[in-house]
Amino acid sequence: MASKPTVWKKRILIPFWVVRILLMLFIIIIYAIALNVIRKDPDLTLPNVGVVVIFMLLIIAVLLMDVMAILMFLRDGLNPTKFLIMNVVQTGFWVVVLLLNIVAIARQGTNGAGIGFSVFVLLSFIGLLIYSAIGFHKQRKQTQRGQYVPTNNPSAQPLVHDASAYNGPEYQNTQPFQQNPVYHSSTAYQPPTGMSVELDSSRPQGAANDYYTQQPVKPAHVV
C-alpha cells in the first residue's frame, strides 16, 4: 500500500526559509567585501584568501539546498528523507562554524560578539531540522501501518483458491447419473399387437354403443 504524502505546514517552513536565506545572503555579501579588502591589502597572505573563498562556497551550497527544498515544496515533491538529510548537512556545517569561532576566540582572546550571531544562525537551522525529523517520523509510522507483514508459520499451508481443484465427498456404491427415458401418457386406447380393430364410423363405439342398442326397461307399473 502506498503511503500518503507528508503534509508540510507553510506557516512553519516559510518563516524559517525567509530568515535563513536572508542570513545567508547577508553573510555572502560580508565575505565578498572582506575578500575584496584582502586582495587589496599586501600584508595579507594568499592562504587567507583561499579560506575565505572556501567558506563562501560552502555558504552558497547551504543556500542552494534551501532553494532546492523550496522548489520541491512548490511541486509537492518534498520528500521527508531528502529534506531531513539536507537539514542535517546544513546544521552540521554551522555547528562546525560555531566550534571554530569558539576555538579562535579562546586562542586569540578576541571579542566574542561574533559568537552570538553564529548561535542565532545555528538556531534557525536547528528549528527546521527538528521539524523535518518530525515529518520523517510521521511518514515512517504511516508506512509501517500500511504494510502488514504476517509472521512466518512453518506449519501453515498456503491457501489455494482453485475451484477446479475442489473435489466433493465420495460416496460408496454410487452409480453414475443416467437420464431415464421420457414417457408420454396418452388416454387413447391402444389395441394389442397383432389384432386389427375395424371401426364403423357410422355407429358409436364403447359405452355409447351399448346405450343405443339396449332397449329401455319399462317400469313395473307400466303395462
pTM score, whole prediction: 0.60
| CB-count exposure of residue 159 (10 Å: 0-12, 13-18, 19+) | exposed
> What ranges do the domains of the chain cover?
10-144
For residues 217 and 9, the model is more confident at 9
Angle at 42 between CA 38 and CA 24, to 5 degrees: 5
| Residue closest to 80 by CA, chosen among 156, 145, 143 | 143
Q: What is the DSSP letter of 156?
A: P
| Alpha-carbon span 144 to 79, nearest angstrom | 17
| Alpha-carbon span 11 to 17, nearest angstrom | 11
| Interval 138-162: pLDDT, tens | 888 887 775 544 444 445 455 554 5
**% helix, strand, coil for the chain, step of 5:** 60, 0, 40
Q: How confident is the model at residue 83 (pLDDT cuts 50, 70, 90)?
A: very high
Q: What is the mean pLDDT of the chain?
A: 74
